[in-house]
Chains A and B, each alone.
Chain A
């Protein structure tokens, strides 16, 4: 039986996605640590299947300004991945990378935008590599697009772009610990249904 909507994902599926999240977050912590030149630890990620409205609540409400970095997936898996980070954390990331910086909505300098695009590339790459390693599938991504705006306005984009019949997204919530600060990062995995089935099959999961 094929998975026809994200509603049908059961505990076994969620466990697999958790494992993907685990390995991805591990990769990401290593990459972040290299990038920032300081120690970064990860806490075991939580994986949840959420409605868009629940997801924006998890990010602090629909109007909370966040930084979102989005790529389209190509290769064996179709769909999108979106990495969402708090504006404050982005600020400190950019300060570390570029010296002084101010992250304001709809108003990133070219330098800030390309630095964020690179961070997104690294983080999304870390999770995509985890999916690829576990499943043996080939996953390619487009150049990332970076936007700072209201969480709600950004979260609806993948579902709308994919003409999705459901408002569900796979939400991997990670906490990273760096220099006694906790940083919340959220990876959103939005595969098309065909790809989700292919992914579960490649992982040896009975559908």
Chain B
């Protein structure tokens, strides 16, 4: 197996085959894998929040679903990827804590999932697989040779998508 490139929090990386990408310990954050199966080029983004505030700076673009994903598509297009070929796999968006006397708490995961889906739909990118929600942390591996997303968690072990 070739070397893995680590994607940090509020970060985005793109790799070509046979490279792999990994982002560790997603809680309410979401990992979004985009793949062009013809070029075997894949991107992995780690977003933390749904929408960029109006006064958000350019450096923070990767933090938000609605600003990160269009940038990700543009960066992949620059490498020759065709938007019509891009397909998505997503994981994360968990509710990590349950506060008994505050039911509104912990909805950020669900809001992230909704924003990612809305943004992908606006970009006309189909979601092939998702492992989202519930209440546990996930590490996401994305392999550009196969387009496979592998999700590792303490609660559910290792699963391939």
Contact = CB atoms under 8 A, between A and B. Distances in A.
B25 interface: yes
Q: DSSP class of B's interface residues: helix, strand, loop or mixed?
A: loop
Given A53-B8, A149-B96, A72 B105 contact: yes
B108 A165 contact: no
Interface of B: 8-10, 24-29, 48-49, 53, 56, 60, 94, 96-102, 105-106, 108, 112, 135-139, 154-155
A149 B94 CA distance: 12
Contacts of B106: 161
A162 to B, nearest CB: 9
22 contacts: A61-B24, A62-B25, A71-B99, A72-B99, A105-B136, A105-B154, A142-B99, A142-B100, A144-B99, A147-B97, A147-B135, A149-B96, A152-B26, A153-B27, A153-B94, A154-B27, A154-B97, A157-B28, A157-B108, A160-B28, A160-B49, A163-B53
A70 interface: yes
A90 to B, nearest CB: 15
A156 B27 CA distance: 7
- Most B Cβ at <10 Å: residue of A63, A147, A155, A156: A156
A13 B74 CA distance: 43
A150 interface: yes
Contacts of B135: 106, 147
Contacts, number: 106
Interface residues of A, number: 35
Contact of A145 (B97, B108, B138, B139): B97
B100 A143 contact: yes
Contact of B154 (A56, A149, A156, A167): A149
Contact of B29 (A68, A70, A160): A160
A60 to B, nearest CB: 12
Contact of B25 (A72, A143, A144, A150): A150
Contact of B60 (A52, A163, A165): A165
A72 B136 CA distance: 20
Given A53-B8, A159-B48, A152 B25 contact: yes
Contact of B96 (A61, A143, A157): A157
B9 A53 contact: yes
A150 B102 contact: no
Contacts of B101: 142-143
A151 interface: yes
A160 B25 contact: no
B102 A72 contact: yes
Contacts of A151: 25
